[in-house]
Amino acid sequence: MIKFFLMVNKQGQTRLSRYYEHVEINKRTMLEAEVIKKCLSRSKDQCSFIEYKDFKLVYRQYAALFVVVGINETENEMAVYELIHNFVEVLDKYFSRVVSEILTLIRNISYFSKLSYVSHLRE
């Protein structure tokens, strides 16, 4: 099961976050900071799955943006890895250009409805 879905840039600023389990709001920022620190410390030829506390992180880097998904042990890690790419491709198609600053993403309010699509995909 997907626990959370994050898009964080290299400086640690959260561009998108969606939690599927209740996490206290102050804990969220801590979690995001830790997660991005772990992802930044990885080199290019290391595997994309990190074990973190009691779940796994699957991350993928697109230019200066990291997409990180937290999953538990019932998920197929590689399928989630593929899902991230699918998601980014969909956004790219829909908004014609995925820029690391995501200005294009937020330009359209209907982007928020994509969040509800992702909530389906969490299953």
Which residues in this chain contact other proteins in the complex, by CB under 8 A? 14, 16-17, 22, 25-26, 28-29, 43, 45-51, 76-79, 81-83, 86, 106-107, 109, 112-113, 115-116, 119-120, 123
Q: Identify the sign of the CA torsion 113, 7, 22, 117.
A: positive
What are the residues facing 59 on neighbouring strands? Answer: 68
Shortest distance, CB of residue 22 to other proteins, whole angstroms?
6
Shortest distance, CB of residue 17 to other proteins, whole angstroms?
5
Shortest distance, CB of residue 84 to other proteins, whole angstroms?
11
- Whether the CB-CB separation of 36 and 57 falls below 8 Å is answered with no
Pseudo-torsion of CA 66, 69, 76, 86, nearest 10°?
A: -60
Structure tokens given for 84: 């991230």
Angle, CA 42 vertex, CA 40 and CA 83 arms, to 5°: 85
Shortest distance, CB of residue 111 to other proteins, whole angstroms?
10
